[in-house]
Amino acid sequence: MMRDLVVRLQETMREMPQQRMTTLHHFADGMYCRALLIPKGTLIVGKVHKREHFFIVARGRMQLTTDEDVTEAEAGAVLIGQPGTKRAGLALEDSVCINVHRTDLTDLDAIEAELIEPDVTALYDARNEVKELPCPG
């Protein structure tokens, strides 16, 4: 049920201007850390991950969907992202969210192919740059 709502939200967001956000990429001994700087008021929809990973709210406060409802997480929260889950989040404050994945890869396109389910409707590419999307209809 919640996933259907998140997918519909992403479809609606396709028709709106997309926020350009700073994304930092870090690599260390079989780990990939992706830090996203999210301005207050920004609504994001994530991609579906293939494997468990850490999701950390390093700064700020986020409202996040779960499989059942919506919850809040603030700086210091360490969550486990489950495979097959699609989430949405709203930055209630300027926030920094971090995903940490196991991988020996360092090429962002290859990492996305390994860790993320293919999604032609995703709003952002592997570098977290806004995708040029065709106009609907």
Which pLDDT score is estimated for 108?
96
Which pLDDT score is estimated for 93?
98
Tens of pLDDT, residues 102-120: 999 999 999 999 999 998 8
Residue 128 domain flag: no
> What is the C-alpha separation between 69 and 64, in angstroms, rounded?
9
Which pLDDT score is estimated for 53?
97
Residue 106 domain flag: yes
Residue 61 domain flag: yes
Residue 7 domain flag: yes
Helix and strand totals (H; E) in the chain: 2, 9
The Cα-based distances of 51 to 5, 76, 119, 122, 133 in angstroms read 22, 22, 16, 18, 27
Instruction: Tell me the pLDDT of the chain (137 aa) as tens digits.
Output: 788 999 899 889 888 888 889 999 999 999 999 999 999 999 999 999 999 999 999 999 999 998 788 999 999 999 999 999 999 999 999 999 999 999 999 999 999 999 999 988 888 888 888 887 555 55
Which pLDDT score is estimated for 54?
97
Residue 124 domain flag: no
Which pLDDT score is estimated for 109?
94
Q: What are phi and psi of 111, to 5 degrees?
A: -60, -45
Total domains, the chain = 1
* Residue 137 tokens, joined: 């209809």
Residue 130 domain flag: no
Q: Which residues pair with 45 in a beta bridge?
A: 88
Helices (H), the chain: 2-13, 108-115
Residue 58 domain flag: yes
DSSP β-ladder status, 77-81 and 88-91:
unpaired
In terms of residue numbers, what domain contains 45? 2-115
Where residue 42 sits, what CATH number does that domain have? Answer: 2.60.120.10
